[in-house]
Structure 1
């Protein structure tokens, strides 16, 4: 185990946070054991976080910030940590998502991450083979952190088209899917979010082969994200972007208008109640 002074704060966001936590703790003249007692976490966990060997929860970061009188300095580093919890191949998309003024998405199987409830996200992530509880919780917190863009003063316009089968798939059980659908109804009331549903009665649809997102950024070509063999692909190749724009328009043409889609959501909520 390396000595505390050997930690390189430039090595990673986690190392930077560990160094900042140690600096704030020493400034407050507290030992790891004393800080652990105040925040009600184990001294070993505090030590692991300071050595950049464990990613803290947002709750731990907030408690440390308050206990050390950091006035929000530690808490402001949380987005860096939650970003690190995302797969490396997905981090480029996080930057794109932050900059986009419009996001258009089609999802044939799942509620998109930006509109997922905590329990729905947790249930979905637990479905990955071999994943640990710690990995699940880190991924859940990272997903919730992404949703902050929807409550900004200048949120992106979010156009969501779902297959009706998403409403009928009980991910997490009846209570979890019911709460998720209620959340969709509430989010659809926001002026910059639209939710539409493609009827299941159509059978085959243009987008049955997979979900995707189209991001529009001012002054830049459109960028698309689509799933491929369990790993996301990001591209701004004009032929790919044009193809997905065409597919999205075709899918949306098959979808119910928003007011009808919201009624379908409400009917599904009753069915799961």
Structure 2
């Protein structure tokens, strides 16, 4: 006779619900969880391994949820690759199940293992919903305006970076630019220091292609590019670059990067401090027409470096 014993369904629609099934002792009938190809995507690999370690530990979805302080339906969504994994869930499962450090964390996409993602992740959500973005960059072209080759040259310069991690980061950076392909894209006001036009990144061709891309981007109806000229002798932006996001019905927020990690600022006073700096920088910047002409003049010059 078939053996009766309790089991748990992995159906994401109902979370981890205790039920009773008639099962054979060997090869019995059990509800089939969603099958994953672990090589299909980083999310699929993480979900596959998360389910594997849970089953090896003999735990139900609800028990893992209780241990990690996540909802059972959320854990199920991770296992089914229907939700992008985070470092937090990976570390909590490792800690609660006594797994070797890195067992799950190392499966995360490179951009989520990078410490900066701890703050960049929330910022990406702000960026996706923003109606207006104002960015100041004193050293490099803003990420939302970078070409793939330019981004790769910058990201590959990180000490100890692996090629696979670099490529994942490049892919993630390029994906961010999809916000300008929406039916109602955000407006972007990017102010760049004139020194960026003369800073070699990667190679002559990479840098020239990037400058040409700025000209092309300026023709997008939602993008404005301004150059802060050397002649302005402006100092408010010397401490570093930042981005300010405005979303209708939501508090303004800002992102300030650093060599260690970035930080999202959403306090009204902090954001207003950055906004005052931005206004001071913009007051000395060239209008877009003259800024584009300055970029064109730089492209017309003879380059002497290789």
Judge same fold: TM > 0.5, yes or no: yes
What is the alpha-carbon distance in structure 1 between the residues aligned to residue 109 and residue 40 of structure 2? Answer: 19
1:194-233 correspondence runs (5 A): 194-233=224-263
Is 2:37 the counterpart of 1:22? yes
Shift of 1:239: 1.2
What is the alpha-carbon distance in structure 2 between the residues aligned to residue 146 and residue 95 of structure 1? Answer: 10
Residue 182 of structure 1 aligns to a residue whose secondary structure is helix
Is the 2:234–2:284 Cα contact (8 Å) retained in structure 1?
Answer: no
Residue 127 of structure 2 aligns to a residue whose secondary structure is helix
What is the alpha-carbon distance in structure 2 between the residues aligned to residue 47 and residue 147 of structure 1? Answer: 21
Shift of 1:269: 1.9
Structure with higher helix content: 1
1:162-177 correspondence runs (5 A): 162-177=192-207
- Deviation per CA, 1:114-166, whole angstroms, max 9, x where unpaired? 11000000000011100000000000000011000011111000000000001
> Which structure 2 residue ranges, 5 or more long, are not aligned?
1-9, 13-33, 49-80, 86-107, 112-116
Report the CA distance shift for 1:46/1:215 in structure 2 as closer, same or farther (over 3 A): closer
Task: Give the TM-score normalised by structure 2.
Answer: 0.64
4+ residue segments displaced more than 3 Å = 45-54, 77-81
What is the alpha-carbon distance in structure 1 between the residues aligned to residue 195 and residue 213 of structure 2? Answer: 17
Is the 1:85–1:142 Cα contact (8 Å) retained in structure 2?
Answer: no
Shift of 1:173: 1.1
Is 2:257 the counterpart of 1:242? no
Shift of 1:235: 1.3
Larger Cα-atom Rg: 2
What is the alpha-carbon distance in structure 2 between the residues aligned to residue 226 and residue 271 of structure 1? Answer: 33
Is the 1:177–1:272 Cα contact (8 Å) retained in structure 2?
Answer: no
Higher relative contact order (CA 8 A, sep 6+): 1
Shift of 1:46: 6.8
What is the alpha-carbon distance in structure 2 between the residues aligned to residue 21 and residue 151 of structure 1? Answer: 31
1:1-273 correspondence runs (5 A): 21-22=36-37, 51-52=45-46, 80=84, 84-86=109-111, 87-271=117-301
Shift of 1:200: 1.7
What is the alpha-carbon distance in structure 2 between the residues aligned to residue 182 and residue 214 of structure 1? Answer: 25
Q: Give the RMSD, CA atoms, in angstroms.
A: 2.9
What is the alpha-carbon distance in structure 2 between the residues aligned to residue 150 and residue 156 of structure 1? Answer: 7
Is the 1:107–1:212 Cα contact (8 Å) retained in structure 2?
Answer: yes
Q: How many residues align?
A: 214
Is the 1:223–1:236 Cα contact (8 Å) retained in structure 2?
Answer: yes
What is the alpha-carbon distance in structure 1 between the residues aligned to residue 128 and residue 236 of structure 2? Answer: 28
What is the alpha-carbon distance in structure 2 between the residues aligned to residue 193 and residue 133 of structure 1? Answer: 31
- Deviation per CA, 1:160-190, whole angstroms, max 9, x where unpaired? 0000001111111110010001111000011
